[in-house]
């Protein structure tokens, strides 16, 4: 029995707590392959301070350099007051943003940001220049190494921070320039005219959120030109597209609130009301918002977010004594959007036609959906396609962490689903079993897809038939065999989500399960290997005396082994929606009826792969010959 005494009570200093519980401060750690990985949150915390300086009217240039996983950020704002440089980056709950006179509409209000960067970096250097004087300090994992004296300087005012994330916390991490560039573009869109210089490239936007929407989609997919509205502390760009679902980019004080929040909810509500009032028709809200494509940015005083990573706004008012966000958004749209539609009747008519089209499609689907739901309930009871879990993402009464862990594995075949079902955590993991290959739904209508039993049952299981608001699982994981058939099924499922439910992907809910390809073992040790190189490394560790098993399908992996692969060490690859990509062109190429083009592509790449393998064999033979000669 474990004793509980005074010796069990610990008091951690600021850096120890951050390093022990980094998730509280920066969310998930990751390895740099996903935009929400911790290393990009570290960069964001530094950049937020630079942006706040710019918003307050100080500095219109920010320099960002990436050199071998070391990041340097230099702004030309006022610079940290020299006597407080060390305190601002190493004393928790210390900063200038508690004083609303200095930072009225800042995003960083908790005095935590740069302290987390400091504590989670192997090396952290801060320099501040003010009025021809400079102060520099250097830290290692939050511990100060060099507290420099204030010296004379001819440099421009501002602050420079350089950090290298700690590789003992961020395992095998690498910054990806394309993810950083996307991060910087968001700052540029929200601060028209601000120049962000990244490794020699200048990132700047002249037209704010208008540029964002125009860059994120092909013009031919839009039903009418982007409507751009701007006022005090608010900026909105919106249009309707030919795609399914709703697509939003939301921001608060320059922070990309990827999970939305009260401001986005207020916009969605106000938009419906203004459209109804303008056209004098009581449209269903779903028809008004169907296929809407919008960006919303607001600036408010002392925002309250639902976590330190600031991805969802919780504030209900624009300022301490100001109106609610609902009133603020409604008043703004009631005036500006209504006036715009009166002045631009051609755009108003295009909007009306798109809403009416959505209305017709919804009504046509009503009978089909009713019949499909009956079939789905019956199939779930009798065929047991869904092995459900106990905690769901849409259960607001449950703990937030438990809801975020809710996962559904989509797999094919009885053997694979059987192994997953026996190995899963019944509290948070569900299993949905497909029967054979699903339909290639590219180019089909929702009506046809609803009539397809497999996709109908899958929609019902996920609870996304009408809206993503009631999604039952936070993580939707495609779990297919690592062979040609498995890859084909994966493509068919990706096509289904990208065409009909792209918001599932955009909101970060879709993943691919990585399972080991090989088991390498001797009598004492077992290695599970996810690549050919890992297999070779394992064989070398066992000094060649190894039994190698190639897993051809998920059904060959025992439930006991599966517990390791879908537990704490689960490897999930998030499906990231690249906004620069023309989705329709990609789906047409890979899933359309252009078989000769795809065949040519496969043959060309197969030849290149054969040449590469032949070169590797020749090199190994040459090395073996040299070894024999020696």
What span, in angstroms and rounded, lies between the C-alpha atoms of 555 and 333?
A: 55
- pLDDT (tens digit per residue) in 400-434: 778 888 999 999 887 888 888 998 999 999 999 98
Contact 261, 519 (CB under 8 A): no
Percent of the chain surpassing pLDDT 90: 36
Query: What's the DSSP call for residue 149?
Result: P
List the structure tokens of 307. Answer: 């976590």
Q: Is 16-203 a domain of CATH 1.10.1240.10?
A: no
The CATH number given to 383-515+551-591 is: 3.40.50.670
Percent of the chain surpassing pLDDT 70: 85
Containing H/E element for 546?
none
Q: Which of 68-72, 104-108, 145-149, 438-442 has the lowest mean pLDDT?
A: 104-108
Q: Which residues touch 618 (CB under 8 Å, ≥6 apart)?
A: none
Q: Which of 107-111, 518-522, 586-590 has the lowest mean pLDDT?
A: 107-111
What span, in angstroms and rounded, lies between the C-alpha atoms of 357 and 287?
A: 8
Q: Is it the case that residue 109 has pLDDT exceeding 50?
A: no
Q: Is it the case that residue 600 has pLDDT exceeding 70?
A: yes
Res. 374 pLDDT band, cuts 50 70 90: low
More confident residue, 309 or 614: 614
Q: Is it the case that residue 332 has pLDDT exceeding 60?
A: yes
Q: Is it the case that residue 129 has pLDDT exceeding 90?
A: yes
Res. 307 pLDDT band, cuts 50 70 90: low
Q: Which residues touch 379 (CB under 8 Å, ≥6 apart)?
A: 385, 453, 457
Q: Is it the case that residue 243 has pLDDT exceeding 50?
A: yes
The pLDDT, as a whole number, for residue 560 is: 85
Q: Is it the case that residue 488 has pLDDT exceeding 60?
A: yes
Q: Is it the case that residue 623 has pLDDT exceeding 80?
A: no
Mean pLDDT computed over 20-35: 81
Mean pLDDT computed over 466-482: 87
* Average pLDDT across the chain, whole number: 83
List the structure tokens of 406. Answer: 């809710």
H helix intervals, 344-445: 345-382, 400-404, 414-423
Its sign, for the CA torsion 379, 381, 383, 388, is: positive
Q: Which of 117-121, 168-172, 288-292, 462-466 has the lowest mean pLDDT?
A: 462-466
Contact 124, 163 (CB under 8 A): yes
The pLDDT, as a whole number, for residue 125 is: 96
What span, in angstroms and rounded, lies between the C-alpha atoms of 292 and 246?
A: 5
Res. 630 pLDDT band, cuts 50 70 90: very low
Q: Is it the case that residue 221 has pLDDT exceeding 80?
A: no
C-alpha distances in Å from residue 12, one per residue of 16, 18, 21, 90: 6, 9, 11, 14
Contact 609, 601 (CB under 8 A): no
Q: Is it the case that residue 280 has pLDDT exceeding 50?
A: yes
Q: Is it the case that residue 6 has pLDDT exceeding 60?
A: no
Contact 426, 436 (CB under 8 A): no
Q: Is it the case that residue 274 has pLDDT exceeding 70?
A: yes
Q: Is it the case that residue 347 has pLDDT exceeding 70?
A: yes
Mean pLDDT computed over 218-237: 87
- pLDDT (tens digit per residue) in 164-190: 999 999 988 999 998 899 889 989 998
What span, in angstroms and rounded, lies between the C-alpha atoms of 542 and 608?
A: 33
Query: Minimal CA–CA distance to 406: which of 329, 342, 472?
Result: 472
Res. 7 pLDDT band, cuts 50 70 90: low
Q: Which of 153-162, 300-309, 318-327, 570-579 has the lowest mean pLDDT?
A: 300-309
More confident residue, 515 or 612: 515
Contact 390, 471 (CB under 8 A): no
What span, in angstroms and rounded, lies between the C-alpha atoms of 597 and 589?
A: 8
Q: Which of 257-261, 305-309, 550-554, 583-587 has the lowest mean pLDDT?
A: 305-309
What span, in angstroms and rounded, lies between the C-alpha atoms of 25 and 16?
A: 13
What span, in angstroms and rounded, lies between the C-alpha atoms of 91 and 87?
A: 5
More confident residue, 421 or 468: 421
Q: Which residues touch 221 (CB under 8 Å, ≥6 apart)?
A: 241, 242, 243, 584
What is the architecture of the domain spanning 209-360? Answer: 2-Layer Sandwich (3.30)
More confident residue, 26 or 72: 72
Query: What's the DSSP call for residue 261?
Result: B
Q: Is it the case that residue 621 has pLDDT exceeding 60?
A: no
Res. 98 pLDDT band, cuts 50 70 90: very low
φ and ψ at 78, to 5 degrees?
-80, -20
Res. 102 pLDDT band, cuts 50 70 90: very low
The pLDDT, as a whole number, for residue 218 is: 66
Query: Minimal CA–CA distance to 55: which of 96, 105, 98, 95?
Result: 105
Query: Minimal CA–CA distance to 213: which of 231, 194, 235, 196?
Result: 235
* CB hemisphere CA count around 61 (13 angstroms): 10
């Amino acid at each position: 029995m474990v004793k509980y005494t005074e010796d069990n009570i610990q008091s951690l200093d600021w850096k120890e707590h951050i390093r022990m519980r980094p998730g509280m401060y920066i969310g998930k750690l990751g390895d740099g392959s996903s935009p929400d990985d911790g290393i990009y949150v570290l960069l964001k915390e530094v950049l937020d301070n630079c942006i706040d300086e710019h918003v307050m009217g100080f500095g219109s240039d920010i320099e960002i350099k990436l050199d071998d996983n070391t990041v340097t950020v230099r702004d030309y704002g006022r610079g940290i007051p020299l006597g407080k440089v060390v305190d601002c980056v190493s004393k928790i709950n210390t900063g200038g943003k508690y004083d609303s006179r200095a930072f009225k509409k800042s995003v960083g209000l908790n005095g935590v940001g740069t302290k987390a960067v400091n504590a989670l970096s192997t090396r952290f250097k801060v320099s501040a220049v003010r009025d021809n004087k400079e102060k520099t300090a250097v830290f290692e994992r939050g511990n100060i190494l060099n507290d420099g004296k204030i010296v004379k300087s001819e440099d421009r005012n501002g602050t420079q921070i350089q950090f290298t994330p700690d590789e003992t916390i961020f395992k095998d991490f690498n910054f990806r320039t394309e993810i950083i560039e996307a991060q910087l573009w968001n700052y540029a869109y929200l601060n028209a005219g601000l120049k962000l210089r990244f490794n020699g490239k200048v990132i700047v936007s002249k037209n704010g959120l208008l540029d964002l929407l125009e860059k994120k989609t092909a013009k031919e997919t839009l039903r009418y030109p982007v409507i751009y509205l701007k006022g005090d502390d608010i900026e909105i760009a919106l249009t309707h597209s030919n795609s399914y679902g709703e697509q939003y980019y939301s921001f608060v004080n320059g922070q990309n609130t990827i999970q939305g929040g009260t401001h986005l909810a207020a916009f969605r509500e106000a938009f419906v009301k203004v459209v109804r009032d303008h056209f004098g028709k009581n449209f269903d809200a779903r028809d008004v918002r169907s296929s809407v494509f919008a960006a919303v940015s607001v600036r408010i005083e002392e925002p309250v977010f639902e976590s330190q990573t600031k991805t969802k706004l919780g504030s209900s008012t624009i300022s301490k004594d100001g109106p609610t966000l609902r009133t603020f958004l409604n008043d703004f749209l009631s005036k500006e959007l209504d006036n715009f539609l009166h002045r631009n009747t051609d755009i108003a008519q295009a909007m009306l036609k798109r809403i009416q089209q959505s209305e017709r499609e919804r009504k046509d689907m009503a009978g089909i959906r009713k019949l499909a739901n009956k079939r789905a309930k019956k199939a779930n009871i009798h065929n047991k396609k869904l092995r459900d879990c106990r905690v769901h993402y849409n259960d607001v009464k449950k703990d937030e962490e438990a809801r975020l862990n809710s996962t559904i594995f989509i797999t094919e075949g009885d053997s694979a689903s059987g192994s997953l079902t026996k190995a899963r955590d019944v509290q948070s993991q569900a299993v949905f079993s497909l029967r054979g290959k699903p339909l290639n739904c590219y180019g089909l209508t929702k009506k046809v897809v609803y009539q397809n039993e497999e996709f109908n049952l899958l929609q019902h299981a996920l609870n996304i038939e009408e809206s993503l608001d009631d999604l039952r699982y936070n993580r939707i994981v495609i779990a297919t065999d690592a062979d040609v058939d498995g890859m084909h099924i994966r493509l068919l499922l990706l096509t289904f989500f990208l065409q009909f439910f792209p918001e599932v992907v955009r909101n970060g809910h879709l993943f691919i399960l990585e399972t080991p390809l090989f088991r390498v073992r001797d009598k004492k040790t077992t290695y599970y290997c996810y690549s050919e190189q890992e297999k070779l490394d394992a064989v070398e560790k066992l000094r060649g005396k190894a039994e190698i098993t190639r897993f051809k399908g998920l059904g060959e992996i025992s439930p006991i082994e599966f517990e390791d692969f879908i537990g704490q060490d689960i490897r999930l690859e998030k499906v990231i929606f690249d906004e620069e990509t023309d989705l329709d062109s990609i789906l047409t190429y890979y899933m359309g009826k252009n078989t000769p083009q795809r065949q040519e592509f496969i043959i060309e790449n197969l030849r290149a792969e054969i040449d590469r393998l032949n070169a590797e064999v020749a090199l190994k033979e040459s090395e073996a010959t040299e070894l024999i000669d020696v």
